[in-house]
Amino acid sequence: MPEPRDLPIAAAPPPAVIPPHVPVVALADLVMFPKISVPLLLTDPQAQEAVTTAQAAGQIVAFITVKKARPDKKAQPDDMYDVGTACRVREAMKLPDDTMRLLVEGLERVRVSQVVAVGGHLEADVAAWPAPQSAKNDRVEAEMYSVVNQFKEAVSLGAPVPFDVMLVVMNLTDPWQLADLIALNMDFRADEKQAILEAKTTEEKLEKTGLAVARQNKVLKLSRKIQDDTGKELGKMEREMFLREQLKSIEKELGTVGGKSEFDELGAKIEAAGMPDKVKATATKELARLQAMPSFSPEISYVRTYLDWLVGLPWNKKTASEIDIAKAGKILDDDHYGLEKVKERILDYLAVQKLVGRVRGPILCFAGPPGTGKTSIGKSIARSLGRKFVRISLGGVRDEAEIRGFRRTYVGALPGRIIQGIAEAGTKNPVFMLDEIDKLGNDFRGDPSAALLEALDPEQNNEFSDHYLESPFDLSDVLFITTANLLDTVPAPLRDRMEVIEFPGYTEDEKFHIAKGYLIPKAVEANGLAGKKLTFTDNAVRTVIRSWTREAGVRNLERELSTVCRKIARQVAEGKRGHFAVGISDLAKYLGPERFHAAGSEKRDEVGVVTGLAWTEAGGEILRIEAAIMPGSGQLILTGNLGKIMQESAQAAFSYARARSKELGVKVPFHKTSDIHVHVPQGAIPKDGPSAGVAMALALASLVSGRAIRHDVAMTGEVTLRGKVLEIGGVKEKVLAAHRAGMHTVILPKENERDIAEIPKEVRKALRFVYARTMDDVMKTAMMPRAKS
């Protein structure tokens, strides 16, 4: 489509020379006449293309009416009358809704000899056929007089004719122009107008016009009668017929090209959509409003979009869904390795739903780091229940309207994400996953969690109200599942309604099995390598896990494995045959240099450098903490994007180190003469929470005492001013992270000893755990003896 552009109006158009071959715009219900300018709206691409073609060459287009419009509105060469009007396109502008607004000046009547399709539009051979130059005679005078009188009568009966047209008609002396102007402005049928255009003589022209005006007057009188006789008995059918006629004529009057069948279609869709009665009544009313709107009204597209939404929603459409616990169990097992506890909990949940009969009770919430299979388990649940699966992300949603829709009075309003999800599912009972519920915002624009609560609450979601729809939608058959990385930020009222199922990170061994059993077969299939001989050695898989990824889930692992498959697919495509065995030595070739070194981030024992453990959205992570001392005035400088709580915890660690400086063997009053800088690298990642307290206190103690810290010891715990070590959360994820990073010893608060039971056996075996009550315990484990100097 060409860019919209405004054409300058030619100052004084030269007398029209009609080229012998011109582009054609096919008109459905409208006839163009010579010497009259008309604004037009073109909706169909065929017509628009013809106009654009004409713009490139002389601006002349033949407007030819079709004998009968086709349902697809695409006119064929045979459909045309063989008389039309050559017009000059004076202005053409593409509107944002893809319609084209034109100002067209009728030039000359033309005979059409051959219509052909060229590209996406029609073109025709035409020859000018001007009106005969006959002198006026008495008969013509009399007929003109009669036509003008009939026209006046029409106006007095309420024919919607603009005042200025009326004035011109009364004063015209040219019979051809008179007839044309009346024909264009009155509600004639297309065939009547065409007959007027095609008249061979002046007498014939006026006679045809007179007949058409007379018929029109009959309709107008009938309309009067209907209006006057509302009290009297009048068949509903007749009335409706009349109203329709009137609507149609309004449309014609305003230059709508085609369009009626669209309304019929919409009407049929409304019938078929299975809407509740109330909604159907609204839709029918809106459709009537739409039909009555003039075609240039900007509201048309809003109302149409609204109706499209209404008819597109699955008001009554469900997939047959039955809860078969054994089948569900099998599907969950088929699709996923491990996750035993998760699967157990899900089957329990489904069993309860089965007994209760429908979705009731708490909403499931899958909580865990990315790539731990939350989405994929959701899909399997949908599959096992025979339901559709949809997923929307709530990340960054701050506005209630994004959940519940914008009111229709806003430009560009749309339904909220819930209704959009339902429309996408196409059924009213999908498994509906709401991702990242922990990233939901909340500010002055309203609280999205309130809207969510209403959507999720089985007690009230059978009448979920979306601002855009303005009609309640029944969400009670939807099986909602939410997901979160961390639960801390989930608004409490929401959390109360959810049954949390934790997806912990995977151990290296689990990842290995997931890769072998699921990720590799999937990647092989996805890259078109099914049936080709491609194997990964076990060592290669483990090496990818260890040296190319460091994550709680398997998302990057999946990516790396499919990178390898993609590269092999390329070799196959280039003609390489045989068996592809991917071993450790091939990895660098496919994946580039190793990204992580298994032995932890630090290889040497250093003063002031400690390995802490953090629990983030991505699961557990190791956290390097560095402290440095320099001459100064006793300030504590903290860098590395630390949250408020973490800063306070660093202050506490600092005070602890100061308070204990004597025991630590520090002679100088460092808190007066030195500045201390604590830095936690990877500054872009925000870090917060008290659980790095122990690690920071240890870094400071190491710094002031000059004793190095063992590089293979990782720790977590909150510290008090007096050096007591307090309980923290996320033990399992943190321990897994320490294991991934190749640590040998993990220091945990004594109170967290009980959490160890949750940690997979292989990990427990590989690590040494030290449970600390005080900083002294920590120092004993992690500090090297004082270097003898």
**Which residues of this chain interact with ligand ADP, rule CB under 6 A?**
336-339, 370-376, 514, 518, 553-555, 558
- Residue 383 Cβ, how far from ligand ADP at the closest point, in Å? 12
Could you give the CA distance from residue 613 to residue 616 in angstroms, rounded to a whole number?
10
> What is the C-alpha end-to-end distance of the chain, expressed in Å?
83
48: how many CB neighbours lie within 10 A of its CB? Answer: 22
H or E element that contains 585:
helix 584-591
Residue 203 buriedness (CB in 10 A; 0-12 / 13-18 / 19+): middle
CA nearest neighbour of 128 among 87, 91, 77, 89 = 87
CA nearest neighbour of 551 among 759, 307, 369 = 369
Could you give the CA distance from residue 690 to residue 544 in angstroms, rounded to a whole number?
33
Could you give the CA distance from residue 183 to residue 113 in angstroms, rounded to a whole number?
24
- Nearer Cβ to ligand ADP (105/558): 558
CA nearest neighbour of 721 among 645, 658, 639 = 658
- Residue 440 Cβ, how far from ligand ADP at the closest point, in Å? 17
Q: Under a CB-based contact definition with an 8 Å cutoff, are residues 358 and 494 in contact?
A: no
CA nearest neighbour of 640 among 677, 598, 592 = 677
Question: C-alpha angle with apex 197: 193 to 202, nearest 5 degrees?
Answer: 120
74: how many CB neighbours lie within 10 A of its CB? Answer: 15
- Residue 365 Cβ, how far from ligand ADP at the closest point, in Å? 12
- Nearer Cβ to ligand ADP (180/621): 621
Could you give the CA distance from residue 18 to residue 24 in angstroms, rounded to a whole number?
13
- Nearer Cβ to ligand ADP (339/455): 339
540: how many CB neighbours lie within 10 A of its CB? Answer: 21
- Nearer Cβ to ligand ADP (389/670): 389
- Nearer Cβ to ligand ADP (129/506): 506
- Nearer Cβ to ligand ADP (473/518): 518
Q: Under a CB-based contact definition with an 8 Å cutoff, are residues 699 and 609 in contact?
A: yes
- Residue 482 Cβ, how far from ligand ADP at the closest point, in Å? 12
Per this entry, what is the length of the chain? 789
Q: What is the DSSP letter of 607?
A: T
Beta bridge partners of 22: 124
Provide the 3-class DSSP secondary structure of residue 427.
coil
CA nearest neighbour of 746 among 760, 732, 762 = 732
Contacts of 471 (CB under 8 A, 6+ apart): 276, 278, 279, 282, 310, 465
- Residue 560 Cβ, how far from ligand ADP at the closest point, in Å? 12
Q: Under a CB-based contact definition with an 8 Å cutoff, are residues 169 and 148 in contact?
A: yes
- Residue 603 Cβ, how far from ligand ADP at the closest point, in Å? 32
- Nearer Cβ to ligand ADP (332/709): 332
CA nearest neighbour of 733 among 369, 439, 483 = 369
- Residue 417 Cβ, how far from ligand ADP at the closest point, in Å? 18
Is residue 661 annotated as a catalytic residue, yes or no? no
Is residue 734 annotated as a catalytic residue, yes or no? yes
Could you give the CA distance from residue 516 to residue 541 in angstroms, rounded to a whole number?
8
- Residue 761 Cβ, how far from ligand ADP at the closest point, in Å? 18
- Nearer Cβ to ligand ADP (193/374): 374
Could you give the CA distance from residue 567 to residue 583 in angstroms, rounded to a whole number?
14
- Residue 456 Cβ, how far from ligand ADP at the closest point, in Å? 19
| The one catalytic residue among 374, 511, 732, 734 | 734
CA nearest neighbour of 600 among 371, 756, 767, 732 = 767
| The one catalytic residue among 674, 691, 702, 705 | 691
Beta bridge partners of 624: 611
- Residue 748 Cβ, how far from ligand ADP at the closest point, in Å? 26
- In angstroms, the Cα distances linking 357 to 321, 351, 428, 461, 532 are 12, 10, 16, 17, 47
User: Helical H runs in 457-497?
Assistant: 492-496
- Nearer Cβ to ligand ADP (319/376): 376
Could you give the CA distance from residue 393 to residue 455 in angstroms, rounded to a whole number?
15
- Nearer Cβ to ligand ADP (181/561): 561
Radius of gyration of the chain (CA): 40
Chain residue at closest Cβ approach to ligand ADP: 373
- Residue 554 Cβ, how far from ligand ADP at the closest point, in Å? 5
Contacts of 629 (CB under 8 A, 6+ apart): 608, 670, 674, 675, 676, 677, 703, 704
Contacts of 12 (CB under 8 A, 6+ apart): none
- Nearer Cβ to ligand ADP (375/745): 375
- Nearer Cβ to ligand ADP (192/558): 558
Q: Under a CB-based contact definition with an 8 Å cutoff, are residues 504 and 733 in contact?
A: yes
- Nearer Cβ to ligand ADP (26/490): 490
> What DSSP string runs through 110-158?
EEEEEEEEETTEEEEEEEE-PPP-PPP-HHHHHHHHHHHHHHHHHHHTT
- Residue 340 Cβ, how far from ligand ADP at the closest point, in Å? 10
- Residue 619 Cβ, how far from ligand ADP at the closest point, in Å? 10
Strands 718-719 vs 534-536: parallel, antiparallel or unpaired: unpaired
Residues annotated as catalytic are: 691, 734
